[in-house]
Amino acid sequence: MRIDGKGLIDRTKPVRFRFDGKDYAGYKGDTLASALLANDVRLVGRSFKYHRPRGVLTAGSEEPNALVEVVGPTNQTPNVRATMQEVFEGLVAQSQNRLGSLRFDLLAVNDYLAPFLSAGFYYKTFMWPRVFWEGLYEPLIRRAAGLGSLSGRHDEGTYEKAFAFCDVLVIGSGPSGLMAALTAGRAGADVILCEESHAFGGRLLSDGGVIGGVPAGEWLAQILAELEALPNVRLMLRTTVTGAYDHGTYGALERVGLHKPARPNLPRECFWRIVAKHAVLAAGALERPVAFPDNDRPGIMLASAVRTYLNRYGVSPGKRVTLFANTDQARAVARELMAAGVTVAAIIDPRPDASAVEDCPVHLGAEVVGSWGRLGLAGIQVRKGGDVLQIETDCLAMSGGWNPTLHLTCHMNGRPRWSEELAAFVPMEGAVPGLVAVGAANGSMSTYGALTTGHAAAQKIVAALGRKVQIEVPQAEDAPYAVRALWAVEGKGRAWLDFANDVTTKDVKLAAQEGFRSVEHMKRYTTQGMAPDQGKNSNVAALAVLADATGRGIAETGTTTFRPPYTPVSIAAMGAGGRAEGFAPQRFLTSDQASRDRHAPMIEAGLWYRPSYFPKPGETTWREACDREVAMVREAVGVADVSTLGKIDIQGKDAGRFLDFVYTNTFSTLPVGRVRYGLMLREDGHVLDDGTSARLGEDHYLMTTTTAAAGLVMRHLDFVHQAFCADWQVRFISVTESWAQFAVAGPKARALVQSFLEEPVDLPFMGVAPVRVGGVEGRLFRISFSGEEGYELAVPTRYGEALFRDLVARAETMGGGPYGMEALNVLRIEKGFITHAEIHGRVTAHDIGMEKMVSAKKDCIGKAAATRPGLWGPEREQLVGLKAGAPISAGAHLFVPGTEIHRETDQGYVTSVCWSPTLGAWLGLGFLKDGRARHGEKVRLVDHLRGLDVICEVCSPVFHDPEGEKLRA
């Protein structure tokens, strides 16, 4: 129920929202949880395993029970913590993990089967018979597993990722974080202050109090106003720092638009990578539940949460509240409730020596041992001495003390330290370099302790940054934190530790009894701590129960490993920009528009987009266009854009020597004006890349790489140069994007090219010459990747489009035209030219029949390793041609006809295939054991995936013009 006059919500701004099909009203500033509690909705979910009715337990991101689905216009987000989701006009949420309605969940039958569903029941139950594994058990388990459901559609929401840098990252904006941010901010440091909630202030918003003689709210407003005014301080609300990583890098998730109605371009979330020279962990502490029998009814919640709902949201979660707590601090909530006019039925304090003076009944040395109420709490049983009292109550506030929120300090393998005094784990100093924990996160539980430790840590950082600041720490509450450990209460019935995953004290004891004594084993056996809250509410209590069951201390028992993220991060946020094309760069040829104008479908080649084929009217399949283009090149002339090939300009006195070192063959002897095909190996003796290099001048070469390996080759050249010959006089740079280069191939290629040149050039095969084309300096190479007489004409990129359009137009008057990647591929297969389909990283120069290209007269990269046994000889699979009368496929494997088809009889595989319109047959390139000695043999080609089984003839890989007469014409 709503309490008049309390809370920080904006009562002038009512908000309507919907939960499970019913309309409710809340206020701006409410969370879904606070608004539901204000409407007396206590039942908000069903537990994971037993489908027990559950209500709100906490008021923060650690909530294990109140997980709901938020339904948006295009998406549905499961497992949203109702305690974090702010209400907004039109918010639609629904409960999850139920079959039927929330009140009548058919799967609640699991609760009656609980005796059979104890820890490890999966492992015990679904063992036999084996034939049931896949058919029955797996679908059954899969249906039961998982929490919440998705829309089943693509998430159309916008997500972002961003980087930020600062001197000081302050994590949490309670008193310690504010003090740290203020100190560093006033000193002029570059500060980022991240707050997970939708308002700054941390526990100050819930607990009130007096700081520096003024109400905490007033102090908070002053500090925030100052921080907001400082240009060197960035305030980030709704931002959870989720992980600490190497070298001062932190991950953070900002909920940018989740608290507003969806609209286009409003990002839902942003994943930040924040690089900070120093970081202050001021994340506070999390209150612990107590494991007493039936402690999971809706209405039983943490005392600190009750206080938050009362003071921050103006809501009392009950009309007749009881308190079960083992600290003096927790008593405050009872007093504040009474002051607000709410009945407090009793305070139950297990400490026999605590104060009994309150304005309500106080039971010292007493424990809650049970509860009743079907879908919500109606009363509790209290054991005091030998008696059991029955107390009617609709809300029990419980507190078992506090756990410092030290997760980030353990993200780099650090382990926390057990403090007997605090009955809690505290951070190990220096566990994350550059990160220091302050305030409650470091075990300083009073407000004054928070302020002083926040200030002190910031002062050290300020000094390390070479800055100075004078600042006074204001006076505040500094009561000692008197806690006595209370983990579990013995009694009849199940006492819950992990609410989200339905793990009870009995399960943990059973794990210990069955030999899972290590905390890591217990966790996996019981699934404790593996739910969405990752054990924030249960880890310490569970290992305390385990410690007890195994007769060890808590420190000895230890904790499980803390891993990022602190709270769940949606994959959509982490992968922002990665969906569809996303941020992937696209590289377009200068001829791109001209190709698209001709309706050429584009195909991706790395980042490049290249035309696949150029359809003519009447052509209905790609094959028709491709066959026509192949014939066009073989009979007239074709033009293709080959600018995607990598081009590396290499200059210097030692340029030739350098090429001799990276290529297997020799380039220092290449005459100026000539081009040579070169083969490049990796140091392990396998082929890295191939291509041509031209000698443009005495100390000037132009290397061409394949499209796919352009970046790889550049990296390789840089390595060889810097690692082995940094003192040689050679420099190189990528000029791939500086030149547009067009292949002109076919019997009429020479005539077409000459018609463009201002002065005719008579180039021999494998020659290069500077030319002038339409007043522009260009280069003409006589090289061929088609087997026809071929030229490549290069001009500076900005003239590429004009030249392409002219070349194509003039080619068309000669019976030619443009050709695309499909025809280019057919032409090169017919000629037996290899691409990275063949030099795929596992083949040697010997395998492709180029061992003679490895010069005996000089060293080169990969030469030594290429001679290793096993990398050459008849047992190797060698490049062959394959000819067939029926369709064949790349990826198929080769067998000797008549032998069985299995792995051991495998003779090789196919890498490239095409229909050859020139030869009227299906052609393939592939690798066959001892293939060069087997030309003329028949092999059986089998492709199980495509259902092919074809007899092929093994032949030379060069099908077309084997003597090369056309090339040299």
Partner 1 sequence: MRLTCPLCGERDRREFYYYGAEDYLRRPAEGAPLAEWDNYLHLRDNPAGVTKDLWYHEAGCAQWLVVTRNTVTHEISGVELVAERKA
Give the interface with partner 1 as residue ranges (CB under 8 A).
163, 245-249, 273, 275, 412, 433, 683-684, 711, 714-715, 718-719, 721-724, 726, 859, 863-865, 867-868
Report helix, strand or coil for 287. Answer: strand
**Closest Cα to residue 912, out of 893, 890, 896?**
890
What are the distances in angstroms from CA 840 to CA 654, 712, 875?
Answer: 30, 13, 19
Q: What is the residue whose two structure tokens read 């041509």?
A: 692
Residue 80 or residue 431: which is nearer to partner 1 going by CB?
431
- In the complex, the smallest distance separating the C-beta of residue 246 from partner 1, rounded to whole angstroms, is 4
- In the complex, the smallest distance separating the C-beta of residue 50 from partner 1, rounded to whole angstroms, is 43
- In the complex, the smallest distance separating the C-beta of residue 859 from partner 1, rounded to whole angstroms, is 4
Can you spell out the DSSP letters for 829-886?
HHHT---TTTSSSS-BTTTTT-GGGS-SSS--TTHHHHTSTTSSSTTSEEEEEEEESS
CA distance 938 to 922: 14
Amino acid at site 892? A
- In the complex, the smallest distance separating the C-beta of residue 719 from partner 1, rounded to whole angstroms, is 6
Can you spell out the DSSP letters for 791-807?
EEEEEEGGGHHHHHHHH
Amino acid at site 529? G
Residue 478 or residue 684: which is nearer to partner 1 going by CB?
684
- In the complex, the smallest distance separating the C-beta of residue 558 from partner 1, rounded to whole angstroms, is 20
Per-residue burial over 209-244, b if 16 or more Cβ lie within 10 Å, else e, is: eebeeeebbebbeebbeebeebebbbbbbbbbbbbb
- In the complex, the smallest distance separating the C-beta of residue 734 from partner 1, rounded to whole angstroms, is 9
Q: What is the residue whose two structure tokens read 């994971």?
A: 48
CB 487 within 8 A of CB 289: no
Residue 867 or residue 956: which is nearer to partner 1 going by CB?
867
- In the complex, the smallest distance separating the C-beta of residue 684 from partner 1, rounded to whole angstroms, is 6
- In the complex, the smallest distance separating the C-beta of residue 166 from partner 1, rounded to whole angstroms, is 14
| Residue 673, Ramachandran bin (φ over 0: left; ψ between -120 and 50: alpha; else beta) | left
- In the complex, the smallest distance separating the C-beta of residue 896 from partner 1, rounded to whole angstroms, is 33
Structure letter (DSSP) for residue 186: H
- In the complex, the smallest distance separating the C-beta of residue 723 from partner 1, rounded to whole angstroms, is 5
Look at strands 320-325 and 395-399 and give their pairing: parallel
- In the complex, the smallest distance separating the C-beta of residue 430 from partner 1, rounded to whole angstroms, is 11
CA distance 86 to 24: 14
**Closest Cα to residue 745, out of 790, 679, 808, 689?**
790
- In the complex, the smallest distance separating the C-beta of residue 779 from partner 1, rounded to whole angstroms, is 25
Specify the DSSP element, H or E, that contains 550: helix 539-550
Residue 573 or residue 882: which is nearer to partner 1 going by CB?
573
CA distance 789 to 966: 6
Residue 845 or residue 967: which is nearer to partner 1 going by CB?
845
Residue 210 or residue 725: which is nearer to partner 1 going by CB?
725
CB 436 within 8 A of CB 279: yes
- In the complex, the smallest distance separating the C-beta of residue 727 from partner 1, rounded to whole angstroms, is 9
- In the complex, the smallest distance separating the C-beta of residue 476 from partner 1, rounded to whole angstroms, is 38
Residue 259 or residue 277: which is nearer to partner 1 going by CB?
277
**CA end-to-end span of the chain:** 95
Residue 128 or residue 163: which is nearer to partner 1 going by CB?
163
Residue 769 or residue 865: which is nearer to partner 1 going by CB?
865
Report phi then psi at 604, rounded to 5: -80, 130
Joined together, the tokens standing for residue 736 give 């791939």
CA distance 317 to 42: 8
Q: Where are the beta strands (DSSP E) in 590-684?
A: 602-605, 608-611, 638-641, 646-651, 675-681
Look at strands 300-302 and 285-287 and give their pairing: unpaired
CA distance 222 to 226: 6
- In the complex, the smallest distance separating the C-beta of residue 869 from partner 1, rounded to whole angstroms, is 8
Specify the DSSP element, H or E, that contains 339: helix 331-339
The CA-CA-CA angle for residues 77, 79, 84, to 5°, reads: 95
Residue 121 or residue 719: which is nearer to partner 1 going by CB?
719
- In the complex, the smallest distance separating the C-beta of residue 841 from partner 1, rounded to whole angstroms, is 15
Residue 160 or residue 684: which is nearer to partner 1 going by CB?
684
CB 82 within 8 A of CB 67: yes
Sign (positive or negative) of CA dihedral 183, 185, 188, 189: positive
Q: Exposure of 725 by Cβ count < 10 A (0-12 exposed, 13-18 middle, 19+ buried)?
A: middle
Residue 494 or residue 863: which is nearer to partner 1 going by CB?
863
Residue 545 or residue 688: which is nearer to partner 1 going by CB?
688
CB 122 within 8 A of CB 141: yes
Total count of residues recorded for the chain: 969
Residue 343 or residue 734: which is nearer to partner 1 going by CB?
734
Q: Where are the beta strands (DSSP E) in 246-319?
A: 249-255, 267-281, 285-287, 300-302
Residue 581 or residue 727: which is nearer to partner 1 going by CB?
727
CB 278 within 8 A of CB 30: no
Residue 117 or residue 735: which is nearer to partner 1 going by CB?
735
Residue 536 or residue 721: which is nearer to partner 1 going by CB?
721
- In the complex, the smallest distance separating the C-beta of residue 406 from partner 1, rounded to whole angstroms, is 19
CB 625 within 8 A of CB 619: yes
**Closest Cα to residue 426, out of 249, 521, 559, 523?**
559
